[in-house]
Amino acid sequence: MVTYKHEMPLSFLRDDPAMGPALVQRLLKIDLPQYTSVKAASEALTTMNPAELTCDAVNVCYDSAGEAVAAVIVEVQLRRDRFKPGAWLSYLANQWRRHQVPTHVIVLCFDRATAAWAKTPLSIGHQDLVFAPWVIGPDEVPVTTESLAGSDALALTFLSALMHGHDPAHAATIIPILDHEFGGLPNDRAVEYASNALRILPEAARMVMEGIVKLEQFDYHRELLGDAANEIEARGEARGKADSLLLLLASRGLTLSESQTQSVRECTDLQRLDEWIKQAITAESPDFLDQ
């Protein structure tokens, strides 16, 4: 199921493709060939029908002559999926085949457990071939403490809020910087980004952002406030369902991992929460929360 948490980082890369290569150079120190422009490429990496391979985002870097010099494939991974490493390898091979330039697979993980799993090398068997993607998780993304420069500033500040905003002290530092980034965007885009951020940011970060929006310092604040009451009411209902789900699982003696508990507490999709509650009544383990 596609979620706001999965899609929002990708929307940055689609709206401004230069963010992807800049972000991986800053955080992962990948030495990309010199380039002058970046374009979003098709996410469909299928080589034949009926097989279908579709990654989350592809950014291709071009030199001044218009020749491709590097490609960056970005995947957002919210939880473990034993089939995904093989898919990432397929994306890498097929994208390289298109341009035959240095190609990198970058996996965004918002929690440390998923990031550690994603870093696990995949042994292919062919002449000792081993594949491991580049991974950006909480250990790679610093806590943003000041406004950043560069085309990746918005994406990096948002990732910092998403990965470190559970801590009230970090939230109080990061969110005003993120708000300033939103305030510098065209109004319609700022409203879209901020509205989606309020749906997926950790509770501490969300509370700081709600307080800042009420100050109406930017034009986008006023438009956002029009829908704020309904959003807050919906989040309150979601928190109630999440609490009921956690109590039900505890009463049945099912122990959740830290990432599973976090997924439940941060879920704002009322339909998904209802489905989880139904499954929790008969489930023998909490693994259904990872599907």
Residue 190 maps to a domain: no
Residue 184 maps to a domain: no
Residue 72 maps to a domain: yes
CATH number of the domain encompassing residue 116: 3.40.1350
Residue 75 maps to a domain: yes
Residue 90 maps to a domain: yes
Domain of residue 63 covers 1-140
62 - beta bridge partners? 37, 68
pLDDT of the chain, 291 residues: tens digit per residue: 457 788 888 888 888 999 999 999 999 999 999 999 999 886 655 444 434 467 888 999 999 999 999 999 999 999 999 999 999 999 999 999 988 999 999 999 999 999 999 999 999 888 888 999 999 999 999 999 999 999 999 999 999 999 999 999 999 999 999 999 999 999 888 988 998 898 889 999 999 999 998 888 888 888 887 665 566 566 777 888 888 888 888 888 888 888 888 888 888 788 888 889 999 898 888 888 887
Residue 97 maps to a domain: yes
Residue 116 maps to a domain: yes
Residue 153 maps to a domain: no
- The structural domain count of the chain equals 1
pTM across the whole model:
0.73
